[in-house]
Amino acid sequence: MSRLQVLLASLCFGTTGTAQALGPDGLSPAGVGAGRILIGGAILVAIALLAGGARSLRALPAKPVLIAAAAVASYQLSFFAAVADTGVAVGTIVALGSAPALAGGIEWAITGTAPAKAWAMATALACAGVAMLALAGADASISLPGVGLALIAGASYAGYTLAAKRLLTNHHTPETVMAAAFGLGAVLLLPVLLVAGSGLATPEGASLILFLGIVPTALAYLLFARGLKRLSAAETATLTLAEPLTAALLGVLVLAERMTAPAAAGAALIGAGLLVLAAPELRRPATVPA
């Protein structure tokens, strides 16, 4: 059930690109990112207040909340800056591909528990698939500053996942944890929204960030947190690699994009990696003593 929740969250994450493609032209990606966090954060705070009251938010320890919120804001800024500098393909590969490895490595260093072999195999397959999917038909150029920004984005995602995992392990509810991280993250991103949010006040722009705030932010991260509560940070980060697979399929089905053979092979690799990780373990039937 926990893996299914993370996969459903990834399906929601994967709608972001299609929604932006169908939305109005000329919007700043950074402004859209800040706007979606503001809407999503406000919804998550309202849900947390209804579920547990203000006391549940005040009970959260400050340090992991600040780390999670800073990581939410940092990811938005560094990922969009990386894409602008080194292109969508390379930026996506480095950011999404590095996050599971960084989450697994940091979690290993903190807890002393090595990730399972199935996680390593699944991560390798899925990251290879992300690379093929992103590079298929793309004229990829590599910029070292852009790659560095993409690595910061991957580290931000890993840091957010690990900080949220710590809060969830300490028996705080998913609603409270997500509300604190995204509510404070939205406050940190307010200057970005004020500078780069022109065009979002139109009906089309408002509709776009409302959808992005509800589906791939509030709903997605509630599902994400519920799954993360029972899974390791490394496994959760790998399962979210279903996001680019979802985005590619929506591009074909909704935007009538053409999927090339390398892209199809990449999608198959991602699917294989997720199957390795998400398939239930086979258990032998219990033996009955004579």
- Model confidence pLDDT, tens digit, residues 93-106: 788 888 888 888 88
Highest mean pLDDT among 72-81, 95-104, 110-119: 72-81
Output the DSSP codes for the chain: -HHHHHHHHHHHHTTHHHHHHHS-TT--HHHHHHHHHHHHHHHHHHHHHHHHHHHHHHTS-HHHHHHHHHHHHHHHHHHHHHHHHH-HHHHHHHHHHHHHHHHHHHHHHHH-PPPPHHHHHHHHHHHHHHHHHHHTT------HHHHHHHHHHHHHHHHHHHHHHHHHHTT--HHHHHHHHHHHHHHHTHHHHHHH-TTTTSHHHHHHHHHHHIIIIIIHHHHHHHHHTTS-HHHHHHHTTHHHHHHHHHHHHTS-PPPPHHHHHHHHHHHHHHHHHHSPPP-PPPPPP-
What tens digit of pLDDT does each residue of 26-55 get?
888 889 999 999 999 999 999 999 988 888
Query: Is 70 exceeded by the pLDDT of residue 23?
Result: yes
The answer to whether the predicted template modeling score (pTM) of the entire model surpasses 0.75 is: yes
Q: Where are the domains of the chain?
A: 2-278
